[in-house]
Structure 1
């Protein structure tokens, strides 16, 4: 019986020592985790975050300017007070139009097309354009386009023959219709084109038919203004 009690006390002391050792080991692990484990985990988390940043593609800023806008062909001159300026550029870009001394901004549509109604000044007008994309990059300017607003009909003078003149005999059968108009004007006589010299003069040689001969002259300038005159002469063989 005494031996049994001694054995029990021995087991109790051994269990107590084991419990104490286990407690100390647990406390040591907790302290190790607090002083070393947490900082290591924080550093590892930072490393993963940096790795993720470096693996994510970085979008570079758009610094490429768009191409200059393309302006559709405009007439050299017009007799209309306003014209439509049309053209194309980068889709969604802003087109900056320099119209004489003013600037106008218009937004191109999804197809890159744009249009603007421009009221002209009397005489010469200048038009140029540039484009600006969403990133603020601006293109080079287009070449300056000149357009003349002119709503006055060109002058037209017939110097020979006089209206109502009469011609007789074979020697007078061939005549020359002469006169003067404005430089650069297009001239027709009875729907036949006639050369206008640099000084505006013209001469049209024709053969008369027997009886009354009518000559219809039309002078049209670059702005499509028209002046029309008609003379009549008679011929007797």
Structure 2
């Protein structure tokens, strides 16, 4: 009887040992799954719920590289239009912050990095510069300072000689010189011919008169595109 009991006890001990080994093995597998799958998965869920709480906006905390300064496309240095659109490019999605005549304004660069500002120009010189700020808050260096001069006033123009309506006689008076003054930096055109203007605004144009009435259109155009025209008529009798 005692011998049968010992056999049963031995069988039970072996069964318990197998259960213990199985429990240890399963525990080890559970630990491995937790370390390699559970913890990363928990981290992802944490980030997901954090994004939901923050409205779905994420910021790349590892981005510490600032964008380059905004680049502006070419534009005229002088204009007679009070409202001007200046365009340029920057990093995609960057906030472009413009300082125009001391006042700040900003726009977002589109998916291609393009941006545009409409500037309300003041009389005379207008200056602006810009910086770019990316989604991580990194700011670029300030761009170079640009200048646009707004001028919508027609330039001064005087034809000093000869007087309108003057008459000339004989071959010795067939060749005449039209002289005058205008604003410095203007271009003078007389009957579609460009005439040189010196540093003081003086100009002169020599031509040969035809028989009878000779009409001359003297037009001065400044750098902003404003024009002034004076017309004179000269008479020649051979």
Tell me the TM-score range normalised by the shorter chain: 0.7 to 0.9
Cα distance in 1 for residues equivalent to 2:18 and 2:208: 126
Deviates more, 1:198-207 or 1:86-95: 86-95
The CA deviation at 1:141 is 2.3
> 5+ unaligned residues in a row in structure 2: which ranges?
41-59
Name 2:166's counterpart in structure 1: 165
Name 1:236's counterpart in structure 2: 237
TM-score (norm 1): 0.81
Deviates more, 1:159-168 or 1:88-97: 88-97
The CA deviation at 1:70 is 2.0
Name 1:136's counterpart in structure 2: 137
**Quick check: 1:65 aligned with 2:45?**
no
Cα distance in 2 for residues equivalent to 1:103 and 1:42: 61
**3-state DSSP of counterpart to 2:207:** strand
Q: Which has the larger radius of gyration?
A: 1
Cα deviation 1:16-47 (Å, max 9, x = unaligned): 2233445566667878999xx49x83995399
> 5+ unaligned residues in a row in structure 1: which ranges?
1-11, 54-58
Name 2:36's counterpart in structure 1: 49
Cα deviation 1:90-112 (Å, max 9, x = unaligned): 22222111211111111111122
TM-score (norm 2): 0.80
- Residue in structure 1 matching 2:4, options 3, 6, 15: 15
Name 1:8's counterpart in structure 2: none
- What's the C-alpha RMSD, in Å, of the aligned pairs? 2.8
Name 1:9's counterpart in structure 2: none
Between the two proteins, the alignment pairs up a number of residues equal to 218
Cα deviation 1:191-210 (Å, max 9, x = unaligned): 11010111100011111111
**3-state DSSP of counterpart to 2:126:** strand
Aligned pairs (5 A) from 1:96-107: 96-107=97-108
Deviates more, 1:91-100 or 1:211-220: 91-100
Cα distance in 2 for residues equivalent to 1:114 and 1:60: 25
Aligned pairs (5 A) from 1:1-237: 12-23=1-12, 37=24, 41=28, 45=32, 48-49=35-36, 61-237=62-238
Deviates more, 1:74-83 or 1:14-23: 14-23
